[in-house]
Structure 1
Amino acid sequence: MSTSQSARFESLSGTLDVLSDEGFRLFFPLAALHAALWPFLWAVIYGFNLPLATEIPPGLWHVHELIIGSFGAALIGFITTAVPEWTDTPRLRGRALFVFAGLWGFPRIAGLVGLESLGPIAAVCDLAWLALLVAYLVQISLGKQSTRLIGFVFWIASLFLAEAVTRYAFLDIANRMELAQRASHLAGFIFLGILGIALARITVPVTNLVLDRTQETSPFRPHPGRMNLAPGLVAVLIGAEVLGLSQQTTGYLFIAAGAAFMDRVAEAFIGKEIVRAEILALAGSSAFAGIGLILIGATHLGAPIPELAGLHVALMGGLGLGVLTVFAIAGLRHTGQALGLVRQTRAAMLFLLAAMVVRVLPEIWPTDLLSSPPYALVSLLWAAAFLLWVKVYWPFIRDRSTFQHDGC
């Protein structure tokens, strides 16, 4: 091995060592890159097809890969970073994180090109990392004799079941198309439930830090009724969907869950500090999740709005902005940086919201200028949002000197 090759190997080895020190360092960049590149390949390069897909519709691959792929990696990074901090337990690092990365990464190979022959192995891998996350949370809960993580156990176990049903449907998609679509959409709603309990945990310390940088006081006290109302109502509507209740019944439940997310927006009214990007982003995540659910409810009640429009508002605007906000805030706090989003990070959030608006506006309010969604532009704006985050945060994510574990 030459000197230059040896130097490159040592540099790569050092980078991997840093990335495997804490979950967010490895999985947030993986999630961002997957979220940026996969939709672009699907919409722009592949022309809404997948090179090797023969039976499973590319649209189902699209939903599955964004939810289980992009948002799934974000979930792994969030849980393996936040839970040790919340419970004062040793964090997963090194080999354990690479096991999660391998189990998550192999199915993404199949999803990248629609390689259906790898479906059974990919299914086992996706179900395995979800099961390991549940086991990890249960182990800590039992060890600490605490119920603080029960909400996450419930929602991730629910995601496991939704993924199991989706993969089962994929095995005979010709006869189980409707089941695959319903299970994939339920997985998206489950992620909104996870978003609800995550925002309840994140908003309080971030708001208090904005109000008092010294952290000597905690002036912000959320209303207890808001903590679990939104995810609770999402659970109710998921139950109604699973039981096959009427469109009218589920319509009202979607509106109720959306209203609960909108109620969370009230927590942003903290005085002049409401203009801080961190506060607006957290509130915006709740707002778009709520608006999307309300639009879906209106569709169920007969409004002439495609259900996909509401679904994209909730998942692209609500969940997407929530994920990007977690990336931005945790990326600062867990690398010892001061709280405060730079201009490029704020621009990334605006790109993401622009992608959502351009995607859904022609379906809600079609015009001669924009009669259908310009999918190439949507994918470019969406990709720009996550790639810009990577550009800003990668230098100190991979920097060993940023090992600061005081957290968020």
Structure 2
Amino acid sequence: MMQITDSQKEELIPPILRLAFRPFFLFGGAFSCIALVLWGFVLSGSVAFSPYGNLLFWHSHEMLFGFASAIVVGFLLTAVQNWTGIPSIRGKKLAVLVGLWLSARLLLAFSISPVWLSTAIDLAFLPLAGYWLAKPIIAVGQMRNLFFIPILVLMSASNLLMHLGVILAMPELYQHGFMSAIWLITLLMTVLGGRVIPFFTANGLGRPKVEAKPWLEYLVLGSTWLVFAIYLTGAVYYLPKSVLGGLLAVCASAHLVRALRWRIWSTLSVPLLWSLHVAYWFIPIGLFLMALAYTTNWLSVSTAFHSLTVGAMGNMILSMMCRVSLGHTGRQLIVKHAIIWAFFAVLIAALIRVFGVVLFSNMSFQLIIIAIGGWCFAYGLFAYVYYPVLTQPRADGRPG
């Protein structure tokens, strides 16, 4: 009997299911546009929408556990193949994971009963992804990257808190869940940023890598972990605001020094680099704004949080999706001009959503709608430009 070779097996799998970044980047990016357009229509009163939970729950949950989680899973299940040398999930297994994610989005949007079914399907996504991520890491004993498994477990716990808030009719519980998730993703960006930004910058500019200073890394990571722990455990509700504000300011200062050492000004000619640096800069900006929100009446905590979500997450996710999609499909790391416009659009959306709303509070609704437009323009361009990249075989003919 003739055996089917690995290359023949690869050809039997649709290109979009050959690595996790393909479906999750494409569907996740497109979904963020759909979710925000719908949110904009709801805010303007143009659409009556009754999703699972309530409108605020759905917006915050879906941008974190619909959009951001999909990109995180797509990135990690792609990267693990490079880390371990063991093929990641593809084909049927990947289809199951994508189907689970899509089913949760539909069930929550249309509030389909029974509630336990919607909750169970949504909660199953991250643990299943974590299982398939852990297998190759454990198989090769790569403890350094095992760090990402607790991250997915904690994200699952934050998701559970949000669902319990709906089931038990306790809004403060689901608010606690999404705030914990935001800090957790910020922690993830802190770790990944420290790994990839100096490396990518050195390679892209052909210069020596900026070496990490151990004392600074301990301060950055330690203070960010501490902030996350304070939120996750609920200690944030008991600490004096002056203490919390001081801790956030220290954490922000450490991130600021770290970002300055990477020299963003030297990357301005390379869009795939400056977009990453800009994203990281929103972390110290967001932390400083959080410190101000807790110690003054100058702005709300919600506005400060949007520096971390629209600013840091929005910019970093777009930049990383573009880079990973090119690199893992055998293409040169050069973005098209349309994507440069997308980088500018999501940056402007973040600046408007954070600083525009603060400086022109009487126009906050209009500015939020403009920010939504900027985000959708950016991520819509990504979906349009990268659709053929993500749905066709690698340009170099290799598997993946």
Specify the TM-score bucket, using the shorter chain as the normaliser: 0.7 to 0.9
C-alpha deviation, 1:160, in angstroms:
1.2
C-alpha deviation, 1:403, in angstroms:
5.5
Q: Which of 147, 152, 163 pairs up with 1:151?
A: 147
Task: Quote the Cα distance in structure 2 between the aligned partners of 1:261 and 1:404.
Answer: 41
Go from structure 1 to structure 2 and tell me whether the alpha carbon gap of 1:398 and 1:329 turns closer, same or farther (over 3 Å shift).
same
Task: Quote the Cα distance in structure 1 between the aligned partners of 2:300 and 2:116.
Answer: 33
Question: Partner of 1:376 in structure 2?
Answer: 369
Task: Quote the Cα distance in structure 2 between the aligned partners of 1:272 and 1:317.
Answer: 21
Maintained 8 Å contact 2:267/2:274? no
Q: Which amino acid aligns with 1:223?
A: A
Task: Quote the Cα distance in structure 2 between the aligned partners of 1:394 and 1:209.
Answer: 27
Secondary structure of 2:274 counterpart: helix
State the number of aligned residues. 384
Maintained 8 Å contact 1:268/1:279? no
Q: Which amino acid aligns with 1:382?
A: W
| Aligned pairs (5 A) from 1:92-111 | 92-111=89-108
Maintained 8 Å contact 1:281/1:322? yes
User: What is the Cα-based RMSD across aligned positions, in Å?
Assistant: 2.6
Question: Partner of 1:294 in structure 2?
Answer: 288
| Aligned pairs (5 A) from 1:214-253 | 219-225=208-214, 229-241=219-231, 242-244=233-235, 245-246=238-239, 247-253=241-247
Task: Quote the Cα distance in structure 1 between the aligned partners of 2:173 and 2:361.
Answer: 34
Task: Quote the Cα distance in structure 1 between the aligned partners of 2:305 and 2:352.
Answer: 14
Go from structure 1 to structure 2 and tell me whether the alpha carbon gap of 1:319 and 1:406 turns closer, same or farther (over 3 Å shift).
farther
Go from structure 1 to structure 2 and tell me whether the alpha carbon gap of 1:229 and 1:330 turns closer, same or farther (over 3 Å shift).
farther
Superimposed CA distance per residue, residues 358-391 of structure 1 (whole angstroms, 9 cap, x where no aligned partner): 22234321266x3544333222211111010112
Task: Quote the Cα distance in structure 1 between the aligned partners of 2:116 and 2:162.
Answer: 12
Secondary structure of 2:25 counterpart: helix
Task: Quote the Cα distance in structure 2 between the aligned partners of 1:405 and 1:87.
Answer: 18
Question: Partner of 1:397 in structure 2?
Answer: 390
Maintained 8 Å contact 1:138/1:153? yes
Maintained 8 Å contact 2:162/2:174? yes
Secondary structure of 1:337 counterpart: coil
Question: Partner of 2:3 in structure 1?
Answer: none
Secondary structure of 1:222 counterpart: coil
Task: Quote the Cα distance in structure 1 between the aligned partners of 2:174 and 2:316.
Answer: 26
Task: Quote the Cα distance in structure 1 between the aligned partners of 2:397 and 2:210.
Answer: 27
Q: Percent identity?
A: 21
Task: Quote the Cα distance in structure 2 between the aligned partners of 1:181 and 1:243.
Answer: 11
Q: Which amino acid aligns with 1:155?
A: I
C-alpha deviation, 1:297, in angstroms:
1.6
Maintained 8 Å contact 1:333/1:406? no
Go from structure 1 to structure 2 and tell me whether the alpha carbon gap of 1:377 and 1:274 turns closer, same or farther (over 3 Å shift).
closer
Task: Quote the Cα distance in structure 1 between the aligned partners of 2:261 and 2:270.
Answer: 13
Question: Partner of 1:10 in structure 2?
Answer: none
Where in structure 2 are there 5+ consecutive unaligned residues?
1-10
Maintained 8 Å contact 2:165/2:174? yes
Question: Partner of 1:129 in structure 2?
Answer: 125
Maintained 8 Å contact 2:161/2:176? no
Task: Quote the Cα distance in structure 1 between the aligned partners of 2:305 and 2:256.
Answer: 16
TM-score normalized by the length of structure 2: 0.88
Asked if 1:266 corresponds to 2:263, the answer is no
Secondary structure of 2:144 counterpart: coil
Question: Partner of 1:3 in structure 2?
Answer: none
Maintained 8 Å contact 1:131/1:160? yes
Q: Which amino acid aligns with 1:251?
A: G
Question: Partner of 1:386 in structure 2?
Answer: 379
Question: Partner of 1:336 in structure 2?
Answer: 330
Task: Quote the Cα distance in structure 2 between the aligned partners of 1:15 and 1:52.
Answer: 41
Maintained 8 Å contact 2:97/2:129? no
C-alpha deviation, 1:91, in angstroms:
1.7
Task: Quote the Cα distance in structure 2 between the aligned partners of 1:272 and 1:319.
Answer: 22
TM-score normalized by the length of structure 1: 0.86
Q: Which amino acid aligns with 1:381?
A: G
